[in-house]
């Protein structure tokens, strides 16, 4: 019996990346590579691993599990739940604008 956790079907790597984003947000693809202890000692390795993890981040973005923003050349991501926290914080502080 397979239990569905309420998430769309995710690969093992997508689940690992999503958990890392939830734990260390906001985070970039290169920072995720560092957490996975990838070799990023040269420009070539940085580019390879950044591209690799950006692929998984874009898949998670398309599944609406994380949100993103471009800052320079970096793709910065954070969990979707954070937007709910931001909205609640704004309401509690009487901001009203979400």
Give me the CATH number covering residue 33: 1.10.10.10
In a domain, 4, yes or no: no
Domain range holding 73? 12-92
How many structural domains comprise the chain? 1
pLDDT band at 98 (very low <50, low <70, confident <90, very high): low
Is the confidence at residue 50, as pLDDT, over 50? Answer: yes
Q: Is residue 15 pLDDT above 60, yes or no? A: yes
Over the chain, what is the mean pLDDT?
86
CB 13 within 8 A of CB 7: no
The verdict on residue 77 lying in a domain is yes
pTM of the full structure? 0.76
Give a yes or no: residue 7 inside a domain: no
Name the percent of the chain lying above pLDDT 70. Answer: 88
Tell me the average pLDDT across 45-52. Answer: 92
24-53: average pLDDT? 93
Q: Is residue 31 part of a domain?
A: yes
Tell me how far apart the alpha carbons of residues 18 and 12 are, in angstroms, rounded to a whole number: 10
């Amino acid at each position: 019996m397979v239990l569905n956790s309420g998430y769309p079907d995710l690969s093992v790597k997508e689940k690992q990346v999503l958990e890392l984003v939830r734990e260390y947000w906001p985070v970039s693809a290169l920072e995720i590579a560092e957490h996975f202890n990838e070799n990023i000692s040269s420009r070539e390795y940085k580019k390879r691993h950044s591209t690799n993890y950006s692929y998984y981040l874009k898949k998670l973005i398309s599944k609406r599990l994380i949100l993103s923003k471009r800052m320079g050349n970096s793709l910065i991501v954070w969990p979707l739940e954070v937007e709910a926290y931001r909205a609640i914080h704004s309401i509690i502080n009487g901001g009203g604008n979400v």
